[in-house]
Amino acid sequence: MKVFITGGSGFVGRVIIQHLIDSQHTVRALVRSPDDLQNFKTIETVVGNTTQPETLCGHLSDCDAVIHLVGIIREFKTKGVTFETLHIESTRSILQAAQEQGVKRYLHMSANGTRENAVTRYHQSKWQGESLVRHSQLDWTIFRPSLIYGQNDQFINMLSKLIRTLPLMPVMGDGQYQLQPVSVIDIADGFVTALNAPEASGKTYSSCGKQILSYDQLLDVIAQSMGQVAGVRKIHQPLWLMKPIVSILQTLPLFPMTSDQLQMLLEGNVCNDPSWASDLKIKQHDLSQDLTDSQT
């Protein structure tokens, strides 16, 4: 199968491209610069941008499927990097290009927690992007991953660095909100398998890992994988104090959290439906074991 992929230079995209290659698929990746993805010698790259529909003309016409991964977790409005542009308009552009150029199969990256009545603008925009997919004429599947971990991920690696550096680990609120991190390898397996899985057609898959952990427990698991047997010392910060601080400081590019991200963290990130793993026969990785293995 010849697969057109967007967002391929990102953390998840690179793993999916490697899995596509390993599964004998042909890959054409949309890139912003000719230098992107040059380490992948066997794929074709085309320069373009999903926010500029004219740059997609003709590039999908001989492809069998599209994998659309473009997305952001944080806006930088002064640079034009917004949820509206990247989650909605970008999706609209790639759907139109796929339909006009005769592509049938379409796989879409969304996020767990996406819903019509979502509180955060991140999830609201993801829902609007999903709605465009569901109303398209394509044979679609939507993936809603939980927190994705793996080599070069942002979240787990950031926590690991903080645990190494700080004598006390700051925690927003009581730390009991639950997470269900999923391996980037499992997500890549899901996308690649779904390309030829009729049972995945028209499905929206919440995609989580095997373990449900509170945030406090996650910190301890990370610390233990680093040799801190007793876990990590924590200092819990009251939300009444932290919410206004985050709201003020979120405009600073180097500040690590926005109000939307704090809200999503407090909501938790777990899955109630495990059908993605059973439908696609995913042999799910174990977070604790993966973190331990990464230290050896």
The pLDDT tens digits for 207-245 are: 999 999 999 999 999 999 999 888 899 999 999 999 999
> Would the pLDDT of 80 be above 90?
no
CATH number for the domain that contains residue 57: 3.40.50.720
189 is a domain residue = yes
The 3-class SS string of the chain reads: CEEEEECCCCHHHHHHHHHHHHCCCEEEEEECCCCCCCCCCCCEEEECCCCCHHHHCCCCCCCCEEEECCCCCCCEHHHCECHHHHHHHHHHHHHHHHHHCCCCEEEEECCCCCCCCCCCHHHHHHHHHHHHHHCCCCEEEEEEECCEECCCCCHHHHHHHHHHHCCCEEEECCCCCEECCEEHHHHHHHHHHHCCCHHHCCCEEEECCCCCEEHHHHHHHHHHHCCCCCCCCEEEECHHHHHHHHHHHCCCCCCCCCHHHHHHHHHCECCCCCHHHHHCCCCCCCHHHHHHHHCC
Q: What is the mean pLDDT of residues 16-39?
A: 95
CA distance 139 to 88: 19
Average pLDDT of the chain? 94
112 is a domain residue = yes
202 is a domain residue = yes
244 is a domain residue = no
> Would the pLDDT of 295 be above 80?
no
Residue-range definition of the domain harbouring residue 278: 2-146+183-207+271-284
> Using 50, 70 and 90 to split pLDDT, how confident is the model at 79?
confident
170 is a domain residue = no
Say what the pTM is: 0.95
Q: What is the mean pLDDT of residues 265-282?
A: 94
> Using 50, 70 and 90 to split pLDDT, how confident is the model at 296?
low
Total domain count, the chain: 1
CB-based burial, 247-268: b 16+ in 10 Å, e otherwise: eeebeeeeeeebbbbbbbbbeb
23 is a domain residue = yes
126 is a domain residue = yes
197 is a domain residue = yes
Tell me the pairing of strands 65-68 and 105-109.
Answer: parallel
